[in-house]
Amino acid sequence: MRIRTLTGSLAAVLALSSPLLWGGQAVAAPSAAPEQVSAARLLTYDASGSAEFRSAVDRGVAIWNESVDSVELRPVASGQRANIRVLADNGWPRALPGSLGSGTVYIGRQAVNQGYDTVRISAHELGHILGLPDRKPGPCSSLMSGSSAGTACTNRYPNAAERAEVEDNFAGALAGTSERTGRADASVPAPRAVLIRD
Ligand SMILES: [Zn+2]
């Protein structure tokens, strides 16, 4: 790394018009771009209402954590409000997304009783919370093809396109980037009150 004197680098600093660290009598010329925000967007989930599907929900969460870098789901601390609530009920599986990365997922027993894979259901519904739409009808290789792939389909992983879409959704929504780039405004959907069935 080159160290330039304050006098020598003043013009460059002004031209860059970005904050640089000033040190005593010298300015360290940046040898690379400032460190980018690389931390994933952290979302919390509460699966305490998911009854017999608790382990399937945890597995669905783990699959997303394995599959993407820009967002990470963690169990909510007790007493805290989670971004995502997961509930079990007797209806058809569905999601009620709020703003990107938040909402409620229902692991419906109706589909489970028909033979659909509970982990695929969990990962699929979480996919809606992460901003993915249904892609139906679709092949088993697609997570968002949902029930259209049939009960024999036990693929629980998003395909490359689905992973990329989630990465893109959250890459623009990371804290600290939205106001500077304006990307978040374009990439974060407005709060949705639309129920996504299956
Ligand atoms: Zn769906």
pLDDT digits (tens, 9 = 90+) for 7-53: 444 444 444 444 333 333 444 555 555 555 567 999 999 999 999 99
pLDDT at residue 192 in the model:
57
What are 171-191's pLDDT values in tens digits?
976 544 433 333 434 444 555
What does DSSP assign to residue 100?
T
Cα 105 to Cα 118: distance, rounded to the nearest angstrom: 13
Contact 149, 124 (CB under 8 A): no
Contact 137, 146 (CB under 8 A): no
Higher pLDDT, 107 or 28: 107
Ligand 1: distance of its center to the CA of 159 in Å?
A: 15
Domain 41-171, CATH among 2.40.110.10, 3.40.390.10, 3.30.565.10, 3.40.50.720: 3.40.390.10
For the chain, which residues make up each domain, given as ranges? 1-34, 41-171
C-alpha dist (Å) from residue 176 to 17, 155, 171: 18, 35, 11
Residue 30 has a CB neighbour count (10 Å cut-off) of: 14
Residue 172 has a CB neighbour count (10 Å cut-off) of: 19
Active centre residues (catalytic): 125
Ligand 1: distance of its center to the CA of 121 in Å?
A: 9
Cα 65 to Cα 78: distance, rounded to the nearest angstrom: 21
pLDDT at residue 44 in the model:
98
> Which residue in 129, 119, 144 sits closest to 198, CA to CA?
144
Query: In the structure encoding, which two tokens stand for residue 6, read together?
Result: 């304050």
Ligand 1: distance of its center to the CA of 16 in Å?
A: 47
Ligand 1: distance of its center to the CA of 177 in Å?
A: 29
Ligand 1: distance of its center to the CA of 156 in Å?
A: 13
> Which residue in 156, 99, 155 sits closest to 128, CA to CA?
99
